Amino acid sequence: MEFKNFETLAIRTQMEQTSQREHSAPIYMNSGFTFNDAEHARALFSNEVEGNIYTRYSNPNNNEFIEKLCLMEGAEDGMSMASGMAAMFTSIAAFVSAGDHIVASRSVFGSTHQILTQLLPKWGISHTYVDIDNPEGFEEAIQENTKMIFIETPSNPAIDLLDIEYLGKLADKHGIILNVDNCFATPYVQNPLKLGAHIVTHSATKFIDGQGRTIAGAVLGSKELIEQVRFMARHTGPALSPFNGWILSKSLETLAVRMERHCENALALAQFLEEREEVEFVKYPFLPSHPQYELAKKQMRAGGGLTTFEVKGGIEAGRKFLNALKMCSFTANLGDTRTICAHPASTTHSKLTEEERLQVGITPGLIRISAGLEHIEDIKADIAQALEVSQLEVVEKVK
Ligand SMILES: *Cc1c(COP(=O)(O)O)cnc(C)c1O
């Protein structure tokens, strides 16, 4: 029987049952697989038949995870990776050679920024950054030797959006690849390949696992493009542990229900923050006040699990807000059952100058919230009391 619906695909896509007749998939925690005979081995190695050879190449748990993710994103093929960064690096490196050029949104994840600015130049690969509020800049930045456009939408931590359909067409016009890091949205909220992107990359560490248990990633796209990613991954070795593949395949079964609640809580929080006098502005894709609300409605199924706001009083007020939180976690991660608050100006982006921070939308009092799955009233109550403290002149640590 064939299924088309997201939830059913996530739950009913499963590896073949073994002779033990297990209901839920077992873990294949092994490195190698045997051959039936010399002919079978030859056919496997020359890609004439499908089958597992060695876990660096493929493994039943990783295959199940990636097969599901492909169905959920609308991808022909994919490759699981040991981390989101292994996915980002391999999805770029597989398609560029010395002398090539990449156009990227300036608002990319910190380690992606290090790959573009510190590592790729060692092999003669250059890049041009385009500010997220200047979408026309992408076309202007494309050169003769440009091979890829790399973006994230919604952006981190400013929650600005880029038009995937527009950039997909632009990439087609120039015969280059549009690579979208879809980690913030997840396949439940947004499917870049269906909007015209060529490669989709994920850090599965965030909402896909959703419970802060593991590091993993994935690269998805057409058979033809993934063939190049697979060649690079098989021979350079960023293979996912089968144990993590098993965890993540289970996680995908609940992605839809979890994302529904993450999005519902994030929207409720954004609406609540808009009413607070301590707050300068709130950004959430599905709030009518978001400057790209129409685009959000066009390319996203819901607003996502992250919202961001500016607390009045700048860096100092941002610090006070975080110190005053009693329930919400203070960590740099996101996409967890637990609500997480982050203050980029004093933590992840503190080494940048104020001007560099403003270029990527990080205002001094910007707080990013990754809405968790706790009861919304408890999340609101904690944030409300921390907002009150953020405006006090002298804060006494409440034990
Ligand atoms: C976390 C993250 C990554 C990196 O993923 P890891 O699993 O930590 O390697 C890449 N892109 C985005 C947008 C992320 O949030």
Q: Write down the pLDDT at residue 346.
A: 86
Mean pLDDT of the 99-123 span: 96
In the reported structure, the alpha carbon of residue 138 is separated from the centroid of ligand 1 by a whole-number distance in angstroms of: 23
Average pLDDT over residues 267-293: 97
CA dist., res. 374 & res. 377, Å (int): 9
Q: Residue type for 327, please?
A: M
Answer yes or no: is pLDDT of 398 > 70. Answer: no
Contact (Cβ atoms closer than 8 angstroms) between residue 107 and residue 155: yes
Contact 226, 76 (CB under 8 A): yes
- Global pTM reads 0.95
Q: What is the number of the ligand 1 atom nearest to the C-alpha of 108?
A: 13
**70-101 residue pLDDT tens:** 999 999 999 999 999 999 999 999 999 999 99
Return all residues near 74 (Cβ < 8 A) that are at least 6 apart.
191, 193, 194
Burial class (CB in 10 A: 0-12, 13-18, 19+), 108: buried
**Residue 294 and residue 288: Cα distance in Å, rounded?**
8
Percent of the chain with pLDDT over 90: 91
Question: Is residue 145's pLDDT more than 50?
Answer: yes
Q: Which of 85, 162, 208, 306 to mutate to test the pocket of ligand 1 (most atoms within 8 A of CB)?
A: 85
**Cα distance between residue 331 and residue 342, in whole Å:** 6
Ligand 1 atom 6: residue of nearest CA? 84
**Residue pLDDT, tens place only, 152-201:** 999 999 999 999 999 999 999 999 999 999 999 999 999 999 999 999 99
Q: How far apart are CA 337 and CA 3, in angstroms?
A: 28
**pLDDT at residue 75, as a whole number:** 98
Give the nearest ligand 1 atom to 156 CA.
Answer: 13
Kindly list the protein residues whose Cβ atom lies closer than 6 A to any atom of ligand 1.
Answer: 83-85, 88, 109, 152, 156, 181, 183-184, 203, 205-206, 215, 217
Q: State the distance from the centre of ligand 1 to the C-alpha of 203, rounded, in angstroms.
A: 5
Q: Can you tell me which atom of ligand 1 is nearest the CA of 216?
A: 7
For residue 168, the CA-to-ligand 1 centroid distance in Å is 22
- In the structure, what pLDDT confidence band is assigned to residue 312 with cuts at 50, 70 and 90? very high
255-398 carries CATH number 3.10.20.340: no
Q: What sign results for the dihedral spanned by CA atoms 161, 164, 165, 167?
A: positive
Contact 296, 263 (CB under 8 A): no
pLDDT above 70 coverage of the chain, percent: 98
Dist. CA 185–CA 154, nearest whole Å: 7
Nearest residue to 221 via CA among 166, 179, 175 = 179
355 Cβ neighbours under 8 A, 6+ residues apart: none
pLDDT of residue 393 exceeding 90, the answer is no
Picking from 263, 259, 241, the residue whose alpha carbon sits closest to that of residue 251 is 259
Residues of the chain with CATH 3.90.1150.10: 255-398
How far CA 199 is from CA of 82, 115, 223, in Å, comes to 18, 18, 11
Which residues are registered as beta bridge partners of 291? none
At 1 the pLDDT is 78
- What distance in Å separates the CA atoms of residue 141 and residue 124, rounded to the nearest whole number? 18
Q: CATH 3.40.640.10 in the chain: give the residue spans.
A: 6-252
Angle at 227 between CA 224 and CA 231, to 5 degrees: 155
Angle at 142 between CA 140 and CA 148, to 5 degrees: 140
Nearest CA to ligand 1 atom 2: 203
pLDDT interval class at 332 (50, 70, 90): confident
Give the tokens for residue 235: 């021979």
Model pLDDT, residue 399: 47
- What topology does CATH give the domain 6-252? Aspartate Aminotransferase; domain 2 (3.40.640)
Q: Which of 60-64, 159-163, 360-364 has the lowest mean pLDDT?
A: 360-364
pLDDT for residue 347 is more than 90? no
List Cα–Cα distances, 51 to 59, 60, 66, 195, 200, in angstroms.
Answer: 9, 9, 15, 32, 25
**Tokens 């496997």, residue located:** 44
Instruction: Work out the mean pLDDT of the chain and round it to a whole number.
Output: 95
pLDDT value, residue 125: 98
